Amino acid sequence: MVLPTAEETGNMAEMEMQWAVKAMHHAETYMKLLKSVGGKNFRLTAIDDELYADFKKNFPDLNIEKLDESEFKTEVSKAKWRDFINKYENRVTDFNFGSLVRIDCKGDYTEENTLFVMRTQFYCIEIARNKEGLNDSIRN
């Protein structure tokens, strides 16, 4: 069986629905973990400390408490993030899968409080929030 290329499939509704279901499941699972054990009590990847250090070095001014969508959507920011993410291609599982991240770390996943990012971006932001205690209010 020969699978179609990405160009041949286009934006098939079934594929979009599968992505949405998987991304929402990932988000729900993460919130359950935050609420039950707290962010400081678990690791998201085997290289959390390395991701955190590299993220803080490359994006020192990114406000992780309340994300600004423009920090992810301009051509300049997209290029910078793409270079950063690609370094982890063989080290972070599903490094470039789409994920949902909360814009304001004090809130839950809602339509207004959710931003689409790559999995590595999600890990970097949430690892930083956990290490810096910004997700503590979720458990409390």
The domain locations on the chain are 12-139
DSSP conformational letter for 106: T
pLDDT of 28: 84
pLDDT of 13: 67
Q: What is the mean pLDDT of residues 3-18?
A: 60
Query: CATH topology for 12-139?
Result: yst0336 like fold (1.10.3560)
> What is the pTM (predicted TM-score) of this model?
0.84
pLDDT tens by residue, 60-94 = 999 999 999 999 999 999 999 999 999 999 999 88
pLDDT tens by residue, 100-137 = 999 999 999 998 999 999 999 999 999 999 999 999 88
- What distances in angstroms separate CA 88 from CA 29, 83, 84, 99, 140, one per listed residue? 23, 10, 8, 16, 33
